[in-house]
Structure formats: C-alpha cells, structure tokens
Amino acid sequence: MTAQLTPSLAACPGCLVVPRDAVDETPEAARLALSLPGIHCQACISTVEAGLNAVPGVISARVNLTLKRALIEADPDIHARDLIPVLTGLGFEAHELDPGVLAATQSDKAGRDLLMRLAVAGFASMNVMLLSVSVWAGASDATRDMFHWISAAIALPAIGFSAQPFFKHAWTALRVRRLNMDVPIVLALVLALVTSLWETSLSGEHAYFDAALTLTFFLLAGRYLDYRTRAVARSAAEELAALEVPRAILLRDGVESEVAVGTLSIGDLILVRPGGRMPVDGEVVSGQSELDRSLLTGETLPVFAGPGTVISAGEVNLTGPLTIRATAVGKDTSLHRMGDLVAIAESGRSRYTSLADNAAKLYAPGVHILSALSFVGWYLYTWDLRTALNIAAAVLIITCPCALGLAVPAVTTAASGRLFRRGMLIKDATALERLAQVDTVVFDKTGTLTAGTPQLTNLGDVPRADLELALALAEASAHPLSRSLAQAAREAGISPVEITDIREVPGFGTQARYRGARVRLGRPAWVGATPSAITTAWLDRGDGAPRGFHFTDSLRPGAAEAVQALLDAGKQVLLLSGDTGGAVEAVASRLGITDWVAEALPDDKVEKINSLTDQGHRVLMVGDGLNDTAALTAAHVSISPASALDAARVASDIVLLGQDLTPIAEACEVARRATKRIRENFQLATLYNVIAVPLAVAGLATPLIAALAMSTSSITVSLNALRLR
C-alpha cells in the first residue's frame, strides 16, 4: 500500500507510464572504495587523486586521509580492478573494499548527534558562565535575580537537549534496578536545576545553572572522545571485513558466471582457479592441484588435492583449476562455524571489568549516601528544608564525576590514537588495560612470525648445472616454491638451460625434456624421492637420483625486533605451531626463542595457554589461523594480523594493520603507561574530592567554588592524558 501512496516523481503524465523501479535502475555512477594503507602525506593525496582522475571514466576521486581510503565515483563499467594497477604504478598499495559493507559507516549519525549536543552544551555554558561571573563579581538584588532568570531560561532547554544521553542511560539502568555512573549524574543535574529554580524564585543568592551546564559539557566531551575511539576501531574493523570482496565462479551447464558468494547454494559446481581461495566447504569433482592449508592448520607444505578430496572454505588453491561441489555454504561452512563458536565463547568468558567500572561501582552509592547524610544532618541541625536541600545539591554537584567521566576516555583516546598511527587497531575497550598486565607472549608461526612465502636455503649446496635445469623448470610454474626458487636462482646469476615440451602437471609439478631425458621438478612421490620434514621441492634429472631444494619460511618484517624487544622487557616468549618440528625449530632459533612447541593441535594450544594462566601468567596470544582462534579467545589478550582469517580477527582484541610486527612491543609499553595515567587521573580526581567535599558538606561551597573545582579537575585530567600522545 505504501508504495502506491508515495507520490510519483514524474512531472509529466506521459512519464508515469515508466514504472518507478525501472527509473531507479537507470545506470548511475558506480561508487567504488579503495583502501590505501600506505598514504600518509599531502603529496600522496595529490598523486593519488590526480592519478585516479586521469583514468578515463572516473568522474571524481577523493582521498580521506583519516580513514586511509579513496572514494571514487566512476562510470558503471569501471571496476576497482581497473584502478588498482594505476595506483600500483604510482607506487601505492591499494585494495578493493566492498562498498556494501562500508555503507554502515558512511553516515555517522550517533557521532554527529553527540557533537551537536556537545556544541549546544558548550554554547549555553559559555553564556550562563558570563552571567554567573557578573553575579560572583558582586551583582546583587534585582540585577542578580534577572541574571539568574536569564540563566534559567538558557539552561533548562539546553540541558533538556544536551543531557538526553545521560537521562536515557540512567533510565535504562534504573529500570532493571541497577546503578551506573549516569544515575548520580542525572540526579545531580535534576537536583541542581530544581534547587536553583527554587532559589531564584525566592531571590536567593546561590544558583547552580552554570555548574549543571559545565558538568554536562565536560561529560559529553568524555562521551564524545570515547565514541570517537570506538568509531575509528569499528570503521577499520568494517574495512577489514570489506577487504575480502567475496566472489566465486559458478559453473552452470558448462557456462561460467561470476557471482557473489552469498548467492551460492549446496550442490552448486564452483570453479576455483589457481591462486583462488575456497569460498565454500565441498568436495573436489574434477581437476588436480595442491592446496595451501597453512591458515587453517599451520602446516606450510602444500597438500595434494584430486577428485574426492574434501576441502574447507579458506584454503588456497595453488596449481591447477579445481571444480568443487559445495556441501556447506555461507554461515554453515566450517570457517564460519568456527567464528561463531569463538563469538559464543567470547560472550561467555568472564568479562574483564575495567578500572572505570570498578571505580563507578564504588562511586555511585558512596556519593548518594554522602549527599543523603548531609541532607539529613543539616535538616536535623537547622530544621530548614531549603538549606538542607541546597547543601545536598552542592555535595552532589561537587562530587559529580566530571574528571572520572573524562579520565578513562581521554587516556584511551590518546593511547589508541598513538597505536593507530603505528598500525594497530584496538577493538576492545578494555584491551589496553589487559595488555598492560601481560608477562608472557605466545606466537603462532605460519602467517604470524613468518610471512608464508618460502625462501630457498640450500642454494650454495646445489651444483650449478642442476640449478640451471631447475630454474628452467621453475620458471614455467606459478607455484610459490617454484617462484621462490626461480627468484633465488636469478639473483645468484644463474641462467636457465634450453628445455622442450614444458608442461605443468597440476598437483604434482613441472615436467619437460632435456637432452632427450624426461626431467621433473615437483612433489617427492612424483619424482621418486622420500618425503622429508622440511619444505622441499625435488628435481629429477632423469638419472633416478632426485635432488632436493629446501625451503624455509621468510620472517615477517619486524619479527626479530619484536621478539627481541619483548625479551628485553623481561617477558617470556613462546612459539606454538601446528607445523613440523624442523620448520618450527629453524624459525625459533633464528628469532632466539628457546621455548617452542611443534605440531600443536588447536586443543594443545588452548591447553598450553590455560596451563600458563593457571600458573598465574597473563598471556598475550599472537596468531592468525583458524587453528589459533580458540587459543586467541583463551588468552588474556590477543593480537592478530590483518591478513588473518575473519574468525581469528573476530576473536582477537587488537588487529595489526600493517605487515610489520615491531609495534607489538611498543603496544605493551604504551598500554602500561596508559594504565598508569588512568590511575593517576583517578588519584587527581580523588584528591580534588577530598578537598572540595568537606567544603560542600560544611555548607561553604558557593557556585563559584563548585565551578572552579570542577573545571580545574577536568582540565588537569585531560592534560595528563595528553602526555601520552
């Protein structure tokens, strides 16, 4: 019905013939979003914008440096894959983002709402403060009353608008019979307004309109800071989710079509090309290839896959095209189920209560009791309801947690801003406080400490003739081992020999003819060698004695520095990996880690972390694979790199945005200092309460003292937080 009631946009009667939906579907400019992790300066903005605008079909491009993102309006036939090479050519790393996933952050309604309330509170408090200064300076009688009435006229609507978030939170807490920080705030605001109005109508001396407004202003400032920190984290988290634009090639009656993963259903035939990631759980129907399972199991050696092999979502197809039949799609894939399990485990895990919550729990009842006691005391002493109420209101206003409301948000904003600039993203509000307590760091190997790209280790041991032959064979394949072998050989100045009939056998290796003999480079079983524990590619020279090329994972940049810095800081460092012993030992010895465990199953990792926790250690887990997710949840605090699987990123408290691991050590240090600042801020707030509260209870607090005490404590707390930047 509603659709028919909406007035038509068409101006002429003839246009009404066109159905509305058809009008809406006219091709409009495509909106593309690209993530640009590398941009940092003005020159980058100009280069990127100029480069994108020069592409024919691009209508406009604008870089957002805060979010490190470019938004592009372009003709509908322009795709992100056309633009990424342009930026790569200019020297910028670019990734496509899914605009659908990002849409949620485009309109920042809540933040804008808070900012408006903050502006109104600021405007009102400035004006009321001007009037109050005149009163404090000595305005009396009719003038003072007039100033008070004008203040009331400004303050009542301003607080009615600005303080709504506090009213709402306090009400939701009271409805379930609980106390939170907002209850004393709202009580103080209401009591201050009521007594001030009462005083004004009786032409009394003390009115607290300015105090009520500055209180609202400072607390809103705290709320806004808090919101901004979390908004940055959330938008970056959404960006991470949007990075994987999920598409799959669907085979229907032999016709290939590219569809979104969400539209796949069980039984569909899906083609996965070499280099592609499995979109669903399924079974191989045809084709032979090798699978990279390192993200799921931690093993670095590729696994053979042929018809009948069961595959799960997230594995990477390496050498040959595979046709798979989907057995589980979308939310039912093992990958997603793991993510969901982690989410459940997380909501069930005993929530760490932050320092602020602990403080609030003590604070709210204490303030109310103190205020009630002073009301009763003064009423019994003077039998004057007006005086007693005035003093109770003064106590509530003075003790109101301005500094407490600012202490934690100001510090966490400063700290997470600093870490964000270093490439770390704090997802959880209490992650910093937990990170500060860490004394043991557990690393995963594959994909975390190592980049997952193999490096040839025994180049010097292989005769030159073999290398020339191996290079010729390796250059015919895109397998990661072949590519690494070819690169290493080329760098060593080797040139390939002439070979003929080169053919890549998916799942096995490359084969060719050299001087009449059949030569092969590939899996051990294929060339007739015995498999070894180390990642090895075998060369069969046609004489029956295969030669092995050994590989080891290359370390991630900053891995050695991060481990060294953590050891220097007196932390215990462990390496837990699902990979084979030889590979783990090699990495551990290169990094100077003495304590390592190989071939650890996901359960072993959890068990190890739990036993460390039982011994009283606070564990930081750094991992990226599906086999780490449970361990990430079990640890006190967890970090995962942005290249990790969705499930692992969901499970971790902190996400590393760049390739570099060095910020981990710095994060521990920043977290420690942030916690120290928070404690200092609490001490400052307490100190000022210790001075001001007795004055209020004794009935000596004038609005001037309340305003002074409140502002100085808020400002000192904010300045103290800024020392972290």
CB of 94 to another protein, least distance (A): 17
Q: Which of residues 551-610 bind another protein (CB under 8 A)?
A: none
Beta bridge mates, 33: 71, 97
Cβ closest to another protein, residue 6 vs residue 42:
42
| Interface segment toward another protein; rule CB under 8 A; list 127-135, 495-503, 559-567, 714-722 | 127-135
Neighbour order of strands in the sheet with 517-522: 450-456, 547-555, 535-540, 517-522, 509-514, 500-505
Q: Which of residues 11-50 bind another protein (CB under 8 A)?
A: 41-42, 45-46
Among 52, 61, 63, 426, binds another protein (CB under 8 A): 63
CB of 123 to another protein, least distance (A): 4
Cβ closest to another protein, residue 3 vs residue 41:
41
| Interface segment toward another protein; rule CB under 8 A; list 58-66, 387-395, 527-535, 623-631 | 58-66
User: x-or-dash pattern for another protein, window 223-262, by CB under 8 A?
Assistant: ----------------------------------------
Beta strands in 332-439 (DSSP E): 424-426
Cβ closest to another protein, residue 83 vs residue 121:
121
Judged by DSSP in three states, 269 sits in strand
Spatial distance between the Cα atoms of 374 and 367, rounded to a whole number of angstroms: 11
Q: Which of residues 398-427 bind another protein (CB under 8 A)?
A: none
Among 29, 84, 86, 126, binds another protein (CB under 8 A): 126
- Tokens at residue 50, please? 């100029």
By annotation, the residues acting in catalysis are: 444
CB of 64 to another protein, least distance (A): 4
Q: Which of residues 262-301 bind another protein (CB under 8 A)?
A: none
Cβ closest to another protein, residue 2 vs residue 42:
42
Provide the pairing of β-strand 58-64 with 69-74: antiparallel
Q: In one letter, which amino acid is 584?
A: V
Size of the site for another protein (CB under 8 A): 23
Cβ atoms of 620 and 441 within 8 Å: the answer is yes
CB of 550 to another protein, least distance (A): 47
Cβ closest to another protein, residue 117 vs residue 336:
117
Cβ closest to another protein, residue 63 vs residue 426:
63
Nearest one of 78, 69, 73 to 61, comparing CA atoms: 73
Nearest one of 322, 340, 338 to 282, comparing CA atoms: 322
Q: Which of residues 104-123 bind another protein (CB under 8 A)?
A: 112, 115-116, 119-120, 123
Spatial distance between the Cα atoms of 422 and 411, rounded to a whole number of angstroms: 17
Residue matched to tokens 């290398």? 467
User: How distant is the alpha carbon of residue 205 from its chain centre?
Assistant: 52
Spatial distance between the Cα atoms of 497 and 476, rounded to a whole number of angstroms: 13
Q: In one letter, which amino acid is 629?
A: T
Nearest one of 131, 175, 164, 169 to 150, comparing CA atoms: 131
CB of 367 to another protein, least distance (A): 32
Spatial distance between the Cα atoms of 55 and 73, rounded to a whole number of angstroms: 12
| Interface segment toward another protein; rule CB under 8 A; list 15-23, 62-70, 480-488, 602-610 | 62-70
Cβ closest to another protein, residue 64 vs residue 201:
64
Q: Is 127 in the site for another protein (CB under 8 A)?
A: yes
Q: Which of residues 64-93 bind another protein (CB under 8 A)?
A: 64-67
Q: Is 189 in the site for another protein (CB under 8 A)?
A: no
Residues whose CB is less than 8 angstroms from the CB of residue 5 and which lie 6 or more positions away in sequence, other chains included? none
Cβ closest to another protein, residue 36 vs residue 264:
36
Beta bridge mates, 572: 440
| Interface segment toward another protein; rule CB under 8 A; list 143-151, 173-181, 305-313, 708-716 | 143-151
CB of 45 to another protein, least distance (A): 6
Where b means 16+ CB within 10 Å and e means fewer, 243-265 reads ebbeebbbbeeeeeeebebeebe
Q: Is 143 in the site for another protein (CB under 8 A)?
A: yes
Spatial distance between the Cα atoms of 424 and 435, rounded to a whole number of angstroms: 13
Spatial distance between the Cα atoms of 137 and 131, rounded to a whole number of angstroms: 10
Beta bridge mates, 707: none
* Positions in the binding site for another protein (CB under 8 A): 41-42, 45-46, 63-67, 112, 115-116, 119-120, 123, 126-127, 130-131, 143, 146, 150, 154
